[in-house]
Amino acid sequence: MAHSTVPVITNAAATPRPVAISLLVSLRPAQWTKNLIVFTALLFGQRAAQPAFIDPHAVGRALAAFGIFCALSGVVYLINDVADREADRLHPIKRERPIAAGAVSPGLATASAISLTVAALAGAWLLRPAFAAVALAYVALQTLYSGPLKHIVIIDVLTISIGFVLRAIAGAVAIDVEINHWLLILTILLALFLALSKRRHELVLLANGATGHRPILEEYSPYLLDQMIAVVTASTLVSYVISTVSPETVQKYHTDYLGLTVVFPLYGIFRYLYLVHKKEGGGSPADMLLNDRPLLVCVALWALAVAGIIYGTSLTHG
């Protein structure tokens, strides 16, 4: 079979759709769930005796921050897809992306990315200058990832993880609450877990053609990635337990019951590993979260449990 010609023919024969819709698809709205981490500061942040979660002003600013980061992450996807369009045409799934398929020209994608960046950063500045600085740092880091950083072993996955940390910091800065250092540690560990799982999925899915699509995959192997994932998994769970029972956390939230919620990250991580190893998942963490009902329920129950413990305790002490 002429495998190398399939991407071009398949994409050319695809049902045509308006360029505006193709451009919207290139922004990958389904991936915007990654920006939900902006709301963690809203969940864990407190101002004096009032939890940020019940402050309408804080909720509004957090929603605005989420919207701005959705726009900026869309910009990053446009930049990345323009840079990777040739390699994406060799990928069995990514070849369907509008830029790789030729439905959106690189010039239009670049112009749209610039316009959206200016608009989003202007909105970020109006929200709070410090928030705009974090947003700009996020765009700069992700742009560097689309260039040289994604070709440096280990640095590639660390860059992805730091992008999530910047999202968490941005959420705290937007609503002007203290940044919890444990939250940042857990964020980078969990993001590393997802990034390494994605690398493993790519290696297994593409097999011998993996390095042709993403050259950095030549530096990895499934065994090496499994070792890294094991280290990060253990570190994430241990850090979560320590963070929930630490004197700092107990004093801040007036409860030592948060440690009981460890059952949710335990199940969530094990469920994710099950999907990666037994169901060949992991290529898109956002899709897995949205499409796997047990995983989605686990995240929802964790959020409800944490909110119930923190704010239930706050009310009894308030």
Determine the 3-state secondary structure of 9 from DSSP. helix
- What is the mean predicted confidence (pLDDT) over 5-22? 60
Return the structure tokens found at 43.
Answer: 């969940």
Cα separation, 221 vs 212, whole angstroms: 15
The 8-class DSSP code of residue 221 comes to -
pLDDT of residue 115: 94
Q: Judge contact between 208 and 290, C-beta under 8 A.
A: no
Q: Which residues fall within 8 angstroms of residue 274, CB to CB, at 6 or more apart?
A: none
CA 116-120-121 angle, 5° bins: 120
The answer to whether the CB of 206 falls within 8 A of the CB of 213 is: yes
**CATH no. of 19-179:** 1.10.357.140
pLDDT at 211: 56
Domain ranges of the chain: 19-179, 180-318
Q: Specify the pLDDT at position 313.
A: 61
Calpha distance 310→249 (Å, rounded)? 10
Q: Give pTM, 2 decimals.
A: 0.82
pLDDT tens digits, one per residue of 236-265: 999 999 989 888 888 888 888 999 999 999
pLDDT tens digit sequence for 148-195? 888 899 999 999 999 999 999 999 999 988 877 888 899 999 999 999
DSSP state of 27: T
Mean pLDDT over the full length of the chain: 84
